[in-house]
Amino acid sequence: MKFSTNANILEFAKEIYPNGLEYQVLHENRIAIKVRPEDLEAIAETFINKFKARLIHITAVDLGIKGFEILHIYDFSKIKERAIIILKTHVKNPEVPSISKITWQARWAERENMELLGINFLGIQDSRHQFLPFEWPEQVESGDKINSEFLPMKIPIREAYQTLIPIGPYHPGIIEGQTVYVKLEGEIVVTADIKTGYHHRGIMKLIERRGYNRGVFASERVCGICSGAHGLAYVTCIENLYDAEIPDRALYIRTLLAELNRMQSHLLWIGVIADVIGWKTGFMLTWGLRERVLDIIEAITGNRVIYGIWRIGGVSRDIQKELAEKAKRIVDELKNECEELLKLIVDHPVVKSRLIDVGKLTYEQAFDGGAVGPVARGSNWKIDVRMDNPPHAIYDPKAISWEVVTDEGCDSYARTIVRVKELIISAEIVSQCLEYLAKTSGEIRIKPKKIPAKSEAIGLNEAPRGELFYYVRTSDENENLPYCFRIRTPSYRNNALLPIMLIGHSLADVPVIMGSIDQCLACTDRLVIIKKNDCKIMEWNELINISRRKSK
């Protein structure tokens, strides 16, 4: 299958924004428009409020002595099929207007770019550190004053009756390192905040040093639970640099593994949330089902966690007819058991009492905050990358029968129901893929073409937790290494919305709400573990210089 660009996409871009300085058509309906910095706020207002476009991410590229190029990536797929517009703003002085007052979802991305690249977003609504501690004295580059109500300070008399409780960074109620600050009046949360950054190890810079083929192995290790989703997003991104042609058989194998990855992730999550609310039977049921899914993955790839099967241009391992038929029988059994699990959860008194009306997130809050995945769909927002901007796999409803699951509940219960229903949908997709693979044969990889210099691409995939975003820009000096690589994970978005969901609920509900968004802090911080046997105490100026060099 060959992935191409709609010939009318350029006209669409000029129609919605006719004042661009330059228009560039990229692969797969991606359009890059160069704009003036002073126009960013007005464009955001038009795109988001008029066209209901979705902000995917804000990132930047350090061009050295030439300055910076700030990228605002918007999704228009609900208006024009698979249309994504990248706004490029070139500045020599690292200052651009903030759009955080127009859309809440811009805050974390702007804070990250302020911290890692020293870009000053003028008028930003929240200028605190994203990865460094809140108490760190100044921003790495700009030296802006830190404004945080959670810093150690004298408590005003009017707030003396409130209690501030920090949960983390290491706490028995949370699995990974983070700190959630909650202010209570009695037992009720009146305000909350989340601090991440404990796992940040520079995975994006690591990929830039590994080359295109080796980068896939690093990408799979961002997160162990959704490693398959990262591998698919990575190869999709690199394949979008050229006119990719992928064998149909490889696309079906990719789809099969992506959905098995979703099944094991959702089953793991349902078990965790069942354990949190005290429903131990649900925990044991779901984790037993998950082991059987992992057995299928192991039989296909030889691994249970890191699949190691993703390749640019296809996959590295085929599936024989006997294995496909055997796996299909097991998956069909699992589908029936997942349907029984749904019936059990829907009316279970413990599940309903602990999850209904807990962690409310309205559609409007989900849209403005940029929620993704089951969190967004549990707030009745019908978005799914597999339907809107599919990766290089088989998700065309004409080839594979499936549908996007949503729920109107806008609470933890709705998010649970969405995930259980998605289990059933994923099992149906897997069964269809296995049926196709058992009846056909063919190539599983086509050697990729030479990657062009000075090009860029985006790769999207619907990970178990939601939309996964990859961006790459190639170098004009070294054809084997990318110049810039960026990742935005689904947990990066959903974790930012946690404070909104906590307000108004009791302290006892905090672990449930945190669990309901299926947190992954390794994904949020884009973790990679690097073993280092030596340590060194650095001076402040030395740390700044290293930060600049590492983040270019």
pLDDT tens digits, 164-206: 888 878 777 776 778 888 899 889 999 998 888 777 767 888 8
Q: How far apart are CA 319 and CA 301, in angstroms?
A: 9
* Pair 343, 269 in one domain: yes
**DSSP strand E in 63-113: where?**
68-75, 84-91, 95-97
Q: What is the pLDDT of residue 366?
A: 95
Helices (H), 183-320: 203-208, 211-220, 227-239, 248-276, 280-301
The residue whose two tokens read 């029984």 is 340
List 96's β-bridge partners, or say none: 121
Q: How many domains does the chain have?
A: 2
Q: What is the pLDDT of residue 535?
A: 52
Last residue of a domain, one of 114, 131, 152: 152
> Which positions ≥6 away from 172 have C-beta within 8 Å?
none
* Pair 143, 260 in one domain: no
* Pair 447, 508 in one domain: yes
Q: How far apart are CA 493 and CA 468, in angstroms?
A: 10
Q: What is the pLDDT of residue 522?
A: 61
Is 166 within the bounds of a domain?
Answer: no
CATH code, domain carrying 487: 1.10.645.10
Stretches where the chain sits below pLDDT 50 are: 141-153, 526-533, 551
Q: What is the pLDDT of residue 204?
A: 87
Q: How far apart are CA 514 and CA 180, in angstroms?
A: 10
Last residue of a domain, one of 152, 173, 195: 152
Q: Is the separation of the CB atoms in 466 and 493 below 8 Å?
A: yes
Q: How far apart are CA 240 and CA 254, in angstroms?
A: 16
Is 255 within the bounds of a domain?
Answer: yes
Q: How far apart are CA 516 and CA 347, in angstroms?
A: 18
* Pair 228, 340 in one domain: yes
List 458's β-bridge partners, or say none: 471
* Pair 147, 274 in one domain: no
Model pTM score? 0.88
Residue environment code for 526-546, b if the CB has 16+ CB neighbours within 10 A, otherwise e: bbbeeeeeeeeeeeeeeeeee
Phi, psi (rounded to 5 degrees) for 86 = -105, 115
Q: Would you tell me how many other CB atoms lie within 10 Å of the CB of residue 397?
A: 10
Q: What one-character DSSP code corresponds to residue 461?
A: E
Is 187 within the bounds of a domain?
Answer: no
* Pair 210, 138 in one domain: no
> From its phi and psi, is residue 199 left (phi > 0), alpha (psi between -120 and 50) or beta?
alpha
Last residue of a domain, one of 90, 121, 152: 152
List 78's β-bridge partners, or say none: none
Is 182 within the bounds of a domain?
Answer: no
Residues of the domain holding 246: 203-525
Q: How far apart are CA 297 and CA 258, in angstroms?
A: 10
Q: In what order do the strands lie in the sheet with 68-75?
A: 22-25, 30-34, 84-91, 68-75, 54-62
